[in-house]
Amino acid sequence: MRGRGGIAGGSGAAAGPEKAPGSVADGKLVAARIELFSLIRLRPGGAEEQRRQYNSGRNVAVIAQWPRRPGLRRYGAQRRAVGTRRALAPRGCEVELTWRNPFMLLASWIAIGSALAFLAYIFVGYPLALKVLASLRRRERPEPVLDEWPEISIVVAAYNEAGQIRQLIENLLELDYPPERRQIVVVSDASTDGTDDIVREYADRGVELVRLPERRGKTGAENYARPYLRGQIIVNTDASIRIGRDALRRLVAQFADPTVGVASGRDVSVTRVDGDANLGESGYVGYEMWLRDLETRVDGIVGASGCLYAIRRDLHDYHLPEGLSRDFAAPLVARQHGYRSVTVNDALCFVPRAPSLRREYTRKVRTITRGMETLFYKRALLNPFRYGLFSWMLFSHKVCRWLMPWALVVLVLGIAALSVTEPWARAVALLILLGCALALAGWLWPDGKRIPRPLAIPTYIAVANIAVLRAWFKAVRGELNPIWEPTRRVPVGSH
């Protein structure tokens, strides 16, 4: 009997099958070698002796040569990359011959292995390497001591922040820092909602307003305000956050160390009073702060917190194109000028979580696109021969993080290719589909309502990675938009 495009042996009534070299006696299966990467699986119901011989239920290589028959097509003639052929071996033992493209198999395994290794490096290898280096470099740094507190300028770039600018100004005025050594400047990016009028109410308490005649974006506003600043140290912050009472002193104290050029606060993600929270964002912020602490102990952070950071005046005066991110560029400029940047764990900055994943998605696309363009602008810092460990940390923390979604795409494609023939791959593929379904449900969840925990984390992971992919396309196409729309976060009370 001859099967379609496959092999068939007689069941005993037909003419006897040709005996292949190395075949066994009648009543036992004649082994067939289809191709190097083809596998054979014995179907249930065969003779016990044959099941023992071929280890039923497991894939085993076929080692003997089946004589050529008219019904046997060579492997290279197969159109499909992966397929299945069945045959009736002599004496009626049913076997399953699985045709597999060796290049497809090899490519799938390489894709899966490479993607997993890359992801493991990002989340395990890099932090572990930092911990080892930090332990080797551990040395007690003397507590920074200033002879006197330097004059500082606190800069707030704001656009249409009438709903929360008053709370921020009150928070800044209550901070523990000598009032005579403190300048507060609110830079209005051509606001139209009454923000300027609120700021003017505090003129008698030392709060200054600098208004741009037209919108230029956050970096453009910070560039515009530079001639108005008097401080030796410039502190940049946002309108939606609240600063811990002693945070300014702890930040500024770091500049007693002449090697420090930038001091970044520690972001603390907080929820609204009613408990609405983006759980995924909270977890990410905590992980990021932990990583920055390790980098500080090794060779300095590679990016400052946009919510709160302080920088030496001469470094802040560096002109930056308006489409780039100043908080990311600050540590890069500092390193180019021979300074290091640190995170200060005790300088707390309370950041409300975005109440809407759609708003968080838009913010991430914008900030990541600006970050990519900023790093390209400062790409010389990726040269390890000139900047050593800092280049490695910059690549590992930023570039590898931005490449992570592509690694996930490769991983999913590799699993999908293997799922045709591998049961474990099919199970993993089903789990991936389940995660995507949960993420979609979270994305469609009504705004203003708390997202259930089983949906919040997979949704945030999906949103974050899709945002990076979109940022890649925008950055490659050169779609820079310096005119930013601030993420409207629900303000928190002063802490």
Give 366-418 pLDDT, tens digit per residue: 999 999 999 999 999 999 999 999 999 999 999 999 999 999 999 999 999 99
pLDDT score recorded for residue 15: 40
Would 350 be classed as within a structural domain? yes
Question: Both 74 and 23 in a single domain?
Answer: yes
Q: Give the integer Cα–Cα distance in Å for 201 and 194.
A: 11
pLDDT score recorded for residue 211: 95
Question: Both 136 and 219 in a single domain?
Answer: yes
From 67, 100, 133, give the residue that closes a domain. 100
Interval 42-54 mean pLDDT: 42
**b/e 366-377 (16+ beta carbons within 10 angstroms → b):** bbbbbbbbbbee
Question: Both 166 and 207 in a single domain?
Answer: yes
pLDDT score recorded for residue 293: 92
Question: Both 160 and 85 in a single domain?
Answer: no
Question: Both 394 and 323 in a single domain?
Answer: yes
Question: Both 24 and 166 in a single domain?
Answer: no
Question: Residue by residue, what is the 3-state secondary structure of 59-79?
Answer: CEECCCCCCCCCCCCCHHHCC
Question: What digits encode the pLDDT tens for the residues 432-463?
Answer: 999 999 999 988 888 777 778 788 888 888 99
Report which listed range, 20-29, 111-120, 454-463, 486-495, is most confident: 111-120
pLDDT score recorded for residue 450: 78
Residue 4: pLDDT over 70: no
Would 472 be classed as within a structural domain? no
Expressed as residue numbers, the domain containing 336 is 118-403
Would 349 be classed as within a structural domain? yes
Question: Both 96 and 133 in a single domain?
Answer: no
Q: Which of 30, 3, 5 is nearest to 16 (CA)?
A: 30
| Domain at 219, CATH number | 3.90.550.10
Question: Both 282 and 382 in a single domain?
Answer: yes
Place 104 in a pLDDT band, splitting at 50, 70 and 90: confident
pLDDT score recorded for residue 483: 64
From 403, 436, 456, give the residue that closes a domain. 403
Q: Give the integer Cα–Cα distance in Å for 345 and 327.
A: 17
Question: Both 315 and 167 in a single domain?
Answer: yes
Residue 46: pLDDT over 60: no
Q: For the chain, give the mean pLDDT.
A: 78
Would 454 be classed as within a structural domain? no
The strand ranges marked E within 353-421 are: none
Would 447 be classed as within a structural domain? no
Q: Which of 112, 114, 116, 113 is nearest to 413 (CA)?
A: 112
Place 365 in a pLDDT band, splitting at 50, 70 and 90: very high
Question: What digits encode the pLDDT tens for the residues 226-274?
Answer: 999 999 999 999 988 899 999 999 999 999 999 999 999 998 877 543 3
**Which one-letter amino acid corresponds to residue 139?**
R
Q: How many domains does the chain have?
A: 2
Question: What digits encode the pLDDT tens for the residues 464-489?
Answer: 999 999 999 999 888 766 665 665 55
Question: Both 84 and 166 in a single domain?
Answer: no
Would 410 be classed as within a structural domain? no
Q: Give the integer Cα–Cα distance in Å for 419 and 407.
A: 18
Would 415 be classed as within a structural domain? no
Q: Which of 38, 42, 33 is nearest to 82 (CA)?
A: 38
Question: Both 169 and 33 in a single domain?
Answer: no
Q: Which of 385, 402, 384 is nearest to 393 (CA)?
A: 384
From 367, 388, 403, give the residue that closes a domain. 403
Would 439 be classed as within a structural domain? no
Question: Both 155 and 93 in a single domain?
Answer: no
> How far is CA 203 from each of CA 183, 200, 221, 437, rounded to the nearest angstrom?
11, 5, 20, 53
Question: What digits encode the pLDDT tens for the residues 143-202?
Answer: 667 778 999 999 999 999 998 999 999 999 999 999 999 999 999 999 998 899 999 999
